[in-house]
Amino acid sequence: MQFPYQRSTHNIPTEVLSSTTALKPSSHSFSHLTVPYGALPNFFSICKGPGLRQLVEQVVKTTGLNEVADIGMMATSVFEKGEKRSHMATPQLGVSKINFLYQQIFEQRSIDGINWNEFFLLHFNGPFLRDVLYKIPVDVLPTLKPIFSELTNRCVAVIASSRNVKFYNACSTLTVTVFALANRLGISQDFLEMVFTDEYDVILRKLVSSLATTVKNENSIYLKIIAMDTIIILHSTCTELSRNCIIPYFFCEEFRQIFEAMFSDGDCRSTLGPDAMKVLALLKTKERSLKSLAELKPVLDDNLSIMGFLQIFSTWLRILSDKFLFCIGQISDEFDVIECFSKKAQHLAAVGIQHNVEESYEANFAEEVEFLLAFYNVISCNRKVTGSLFSTPPTECFDEEGPGTHEHSIVCSLLTFSSFVFSDLKAESSKECAKLTLLLLLRIADDGYIQNALHDVALSAAVPLYIKPQLHRPGQLDFGNASQTLATSLLALLAEFLRSHLSRNFLFDHYQIAVGTVHRIVVHEKRSRLRTGCWKQLFLALMSVLQYLGSNEQTLSSSGDVFRLATQVMVVVNLFITYGDVLLPDAASYDFLYYEIVRQHTVFTRLNHAACSTLQKQSLEECEGSALVAPLKNEWPSRLINQLMNALSIVNHITPKLTEISAKQGALSEEQVLKVVQESFDSLNLKLYDGLDEFEPFDFQEENEFLLEVGNSVVRNYWERRIPIDSLIVYSKLAERLSTMTL
């Protein structure tokens, strides 16, 4: 089964990909083999003199090698036109030429005699270069500024002018050098001056332009892969994105166009799409970067690139959904979750879909959170993308099985994926992923066009939602109802979230976002005079939250504002009480609403008592001259007391009647209680609140710090999972392909 992408090998010929056979050294091979034997004519065109040609050919003939080792390049440093060079040291026997040059540059600190054309033709040796750089004492590094600047400037010049094997070696040398130095010195303006000279601004702009041009215009997929790998490393040079002063140089129109080029082309999209998503995830994480990007055109400006972007995101959702269901034992590795979702529930039961507790284990969705962060970044600044969320892009797999058929829209897939994410929030990374998912759902609910589409009956679909196992129930997939709107599925998802995570480590931020999303949907339904789907499930979930907050107010007050969240929940409850004739499906539902309020009257009385106690305590502190920590401490308890008035009026009006009847007749049945409720409607006086259908705009800018931390997680995950290009591709085959290009 194909699990989520790490580094795509799609469209790379199999003879170029590393494999067990390809990487196994022969009895005659060396780890530092560089130039393919098939590329000998190009190789010899650089070398001087017939004597060298005969020497190398004799070595090849004697050893039986199919490839020429670095001995050939070593010979060029010793013999030139049959004469020994006097201005350079001689490499020791057994030391590859490129390693010798690394030592000469950084240990002997001599660059005067370096043949740079030869240097970039030699196979880059990353581990050895890193070792050499890390052996240099930190206090000595600033004194090597001329050497570092010369090396990096040479790399940038090659990247700008060459489109062959030198391009790969230059990119690799540059990224290893920059990353190693940034890791030891920290990245800053002084760092850029040391590495790229005082003209670092011009050099970095030239570098970004060259990489963007390669991705957009070059036909070779290898050059595109190398360029994208370089771009990602430069974005990930610093584990804290706020300190990475290289990222702002990528905010230019020329670089923006690479996303349209990659997402529009099918072959390029399947190979570089995940890398493009990673870059999009890292672009908008700094406040200054947000402003810079806002001045440009939208990242994706044409329909073809938008559909390509959505295709990649949809495929990622499908793969991770497959992975999750495989992990919990609900599908086999041969069973595709998309095929699973496209069938009816009866068929799924027939093939043995069930929750396997013993063999299940948790899936970590935070491993590739860059896809989710990239999607959030794009829809936050591009309304064209939000308008395409209800389309159904064809699913394109990153494996070799070819494209599949996805019968659900992006929104349907996102809701299903969200239910998987919400199933386990134990790890901090899972909490981050869940909060990002909730912010994404809030952005969707905050868009008027999407709200209309969510409630469009013509777009109704059965959305599978996962219900996590708890003590009183097993885990299961609820396949929904094909006749219910997507808004109903979204409310069902949020209701399940609200009820399932009432734990000691309460997630205030998550719950405030979730309740805010619910409020927006209910307000839209009230304004459009639409009935609220699954309202009972939602109302009971809201009551569970209120009960939990009231019972644990003293414990939770140290980690968040209990009264603020309780006020948000009560606003939604009051919408049902005040506008039940519009929102609720029938009169029986209205009766049930009042019945539940009376039955759970202790929830409201406990919250009211806690709010009154807090106000009294604050009044005493004011009298004693104590300074309040924040002015909101006065506001939210008083606002909660105001929102509790209708619920307490219902309780105080109906409870005495029930007490009187039960004293005469004993315990009352549900039917008897409902009858009393119905008879009390006419004499009940309720307050008509102002502004229930108005919600405070959510300030997404306040979440920049959180998004920055998610971006840092993307960087950490990248370095943990990164597969170096020289491990992915057999270098000799890569050199053979690129040797046909002009040197």
pLDDT confidence of residue 150: 93
pLDDT confidence of residue 189: 87
Asked if residue 62 has pLDDT above 70, the reply is: no
Helix (H, G, I), strand (E, B) or coil at 409: coil
Would residue 695 count as lying in a domain?
Answer: no
Task: Give the rounded percent of residues in the chain with a pLDDT score beyond 70.
Answer: 73
Would residue 741 count as lying in a domain?
Answer: no
Mean pLDDT across the chain: 78
CA 412 from centre of chain = 18
315 and 272 belong to one structural domain: no
304 and 209 belong to one structural domain: no
Show which of 264, 287, 310 is a domain's final residue. Answer: 287
Pick from 740, 737, 739, 726: nearest CA to 32:
726
Asked if residue 342 has pLDDT above 50, the reply is: no
Q: How confident is the model at residue 285 (pLDDT cuts 50, 70, 90)?
A: low
CB atoms within 10 A of CB 568: 24
Q: Summarize the confidence of residues 447-467 as an average pLDDT.
A: 91
Q: Summarize the confidence of residues 48-56 as an average pLDDT.
A: 47
pLDDT tens-digit map of 99-111: 999 999 998 888 8
Q: How confident is the model at residue 58 (pLDDT cuts 50, 70, 90)?
A: low
203 and 297 belong to one structural domain: no
Q: How many alpha carbons fall within 13 Å on the CB side of residue 658?
A: 23
153 and 172 belong to one structural domain: yes
Would residue 595 count as lying in a domain?
Answer: no
Domain limits at 337? 290-349+363-393+407-501
Q: Summarize the confidence of residues 525-544 as an average pLDDT.
A: 94
Would residue 491 count as lying in a domain?
Answer: yes
Residue 485 near residue 496 (C-beta atoms within 8 A): no
Q: What is the 3-state secondary structure (H, E, C) of 111-159?
A: CCCCCHHHHCCCCCCHHHHHHHHHHCCHHHHHHHHHHHHHHHHHHHHHH
Q: Summarize the confidence of residues 501-515 as an average pLDDT.
A: 93
147 and 251 belong to one structural domain: yes
231 and 106 belong to one structural domain: yes
pLDDT tens-digit map of 347-372: 333 333 333 333 334 456 666 788 99
| CATH number where 135 lies | 1.25.10
List, in sequence order, every beta strand (DSSP E) within 247-366. Answer: none
pLDDT tens-digit map of 596-640: 999 999 999 999 999 999 998 888 877 766 554 444 456 899 999
Counting the structural domains of the chain, the total is 2
Would residue 696 count as lying in a domain?
Answer: no
In sequence order, the β-bridge partners of residue 79 are 84
CA 177 from centre of chain = 28
Contacts of 626 (CB under 8 A, 6+ apart): none
Residue 275 near residue 229 (C-beta atoms within 8 A): yes
pLDDT confidence of residue 722: 77
Task: Give the rounded percent of residues in the chain with a pLDDT score beyond 90.
Answer: 38
- Helix ranges, 501-586 (H): 508-527, 535-551, 553-556, 562-578, 580-583
Show which of 244, 259, 287 is a domain's final residue. Answer: 287
253 and 329 belong to one structural domain: no
Q: Summarize the confidence of residues 239-257 as an average pLDDT.
A: 87
- Higher-confidence residue of 301 and 450: namely 450
pLDDT confidence of residue 625: 62
170 and 202 belong to one structural domain: yes
pLDDT confidence of residue 22: 35
Would residue 566 count as lying in a domain?
Answer: no
pLDDT tens-digit map of 639-649: 999 999 999 99
199 and 343 belong to one structural domain: no
Show which of 287, 304, 323 is a domain's final residue. Answer: 287
pLDDT confidence of residue 71: 39
Q: Summarize the confidence of residues 551-556 as an average pLDDT.
A: 91
294 and 283 belong to one structural domain: no
Residue 63 structure tokens = 């050893």
Would residue 243 count as lying in a domain?
Answer: yes
Q: What is the 3-state secondary structure (H, E, C) of 462-506?
A: CCCEEECCECCECCEEECCCCCCCHHHHHHHHHHHHHHHCCCCCC
183 and 226 belong to one structural domain: yes
Whole-number Å distance between alpha carbons of 549 and 565: 9
- Burial category of 325 from C-beta neighbours within 10 Å (exposed 0-12, middle 13-18, buried 19 and up): buried
181 and 312 belong to one structural domain: no
CA 145 from centre of chain = 37
Would residue 625 count as lying in a domain?
Answer: no
pLDDT confidence of residue 394: 61
Q: How confident is the model at residue 240 (pLDDT cuts 50, 70, 90)?
A: confident
Helices (H) and strands (E) in the chain, counts: 37, 6
Residue 650 structure tokens = 């219902």
Asked if residue 411 has pLDDT above 50, the reply is: yes
